[in-house]
Amino acid sequence: MPTTIHPTAIVAPEAQLGENVSIGPYTVIDGQVTIGDDCAIDAHVRICNHTRIGRGNSIHQGAVLGEVPQDAKFQGEVSYLTIGEENQIREYATLHRASGEGAETLIGSNCMLMAYSHVGHNAQVGSYISVASFAGLSGHCVVEDYANLAGYAGIHQYVTIGTMAFVGGMSRVVVDVPPYCMAQGNPAELYGLNFRGLIRRGVSEETRMALKKVYRALYRSTLTLDEAIERIRAEVKTTPEVERMIAFQQAVAGGYAGRQRDPHGKQT
């Protein structure tokens, strides 16, 4: 089907629009923008230069995509906001492009970014992620696939939220949240595994019980990280999920929700 543009919208002639794109009243789209097929763009949306949008996205009223980063180091260099496919970007959400020449803020596919949510510069957001209303991701955050952030959650810069993790509403998250876990509070602390999310994703009971043992060894014992991994190797059946949880913890540089380790691996 042909693309339709409301008479009051302002779309730069250089903008690249796919087929069956609809653009609502008073929307403004800059020239260095690419929009894929089957996108629905509501009224009063602002899409700025260097924004690349994939197929089938729904962008609701007042959303601002690709505005320059809120970073004092930004000097006007060319950077990008790249959005995948089949996302829902709700009312007045703000997604900023990256800071740094050629850098990219990335949103995957099949995400729900609810009203007034914010994705800061250089963030890397995976797929099948839910970010509830008024939740905010600071610069350089990473949110892995199937994570769920509840309303008003604030994620500090450089924090990683692991796959299938859940962050409770109004939480202040200043350290990494491991995969498959729940975190909540100010500051956020771990509250066990995200069993509901694991079941929803079809993770078997056997794997869920294995992850429970891993969680206890890593986050509810006095073991060093090396000692915890040694115990896990001896007592827990290996699965891809178990390996992912161990690898995540080994890669953590700044700690994780609820507890941090000193360079020698002891609790602090």
Question: pLDDT tens across 218-258, in order?
Answer: 999 999 999 999 999 999 999 999 999 999 999 885 566 64
Residue 86's pLDDT is: 98
The residues, any chain, with a CB within 8 Å of residue 205's CB and separated by 6 or more, are none
Instruction: Please state at what angle helix 240-251 crosses helix 205-219, rounded to 10 degrees.
Output: 20
Closest CA to 47 of 77, 7, 89: 89
Residue 257's pLDDT is: 62
Q: Flag whether pLDDT at 85 surpasses 90.
A: yes
Q: What's the mean pLDDT in 135-151?
A: 97
Q: Flag whether pLDDT at 40 surpasses 90.
A: yes
Q: Flag whether pLDDT at 262 surpasses 80.
A: no
Q: SS3 letters for 107-123?
A: ECCCCEECCCCEECCCC
* Two domains, one topology: 4-143 and 198-251: no
The domain ranges of the chain are 4-143, 198-251
- Distances 191 to 66, 166, 183, 184, 185 between C-alpha atoms, Å: 35, 10, 6, 7, 10
Q: Flag whether pLDDT at 261 surpasses 50.
A: no
Q: Flag whether pLDDT at 264 surpasses 60.
A: no
Q: Could you say which of 2.60.40.10, 3.30.565.10, 3.90.480.20, 2.160.10.10 is the CATH number of the domain covering 4-143?
A: 2.160.10.10
Dihedral sign for Cα atoms in the order 214, 185, 108, 102: negative
3-class DSSP state of 238: coil
Q: Flag whether pLDDT at 154 surpasses 90.
A: yes
Q: Flag whether pLDDT at 268 surpasses 70.
A: no
pLDDT above 90 coverage of the chain, percent? 93
How far is the C-alpha of 115 from the C-alpha of 93, rounded, in Å?
6
Please state, rounded to an integer, the average pLDDT across all residues of the chain: 94
Question: pLDDT tens across 47-62, in order?
Answer: 999 999 999 999 999 9
CATH topology for the 198-251 domain: Udp N-acetylglucosamine O-acyltransferase; Domain 2 (1.20.1180)
How far is the C-alpha of 169 from the C-alpha of 52, rounded, in Å?
30
Q: Flag whether pLDDT at 259 surpasses 80.
A: no
Q: What's the mean pLDDT in 32-37?
A: 98
Question: pLDDT tens across 61-81, in order?
Answer: 999 999 999 999 999 999 999
Q: What's the mean pLDDT in 36-41?
A: 98
Residue 87's pLDDT is: 99
Per mean pLDDT, which range of 14-23, 29-38, 203-212, 247-256 is the poorest? 247-256
Closest CA to 168 of 256, 89, 257: 257
Q: Flag whether pLDDT at 213 surpasses 70.
A: yes
Residue 90's pLDDT is: 98
Residue 254's pLDDT is: 55
Per mean pLDDT, which range of 97-106, 126-135, 154-163, 254-263 is the poorest? 254-263
How far is the C-alpha of 92 from the C-alpha of 239, rounded, in Å?
41
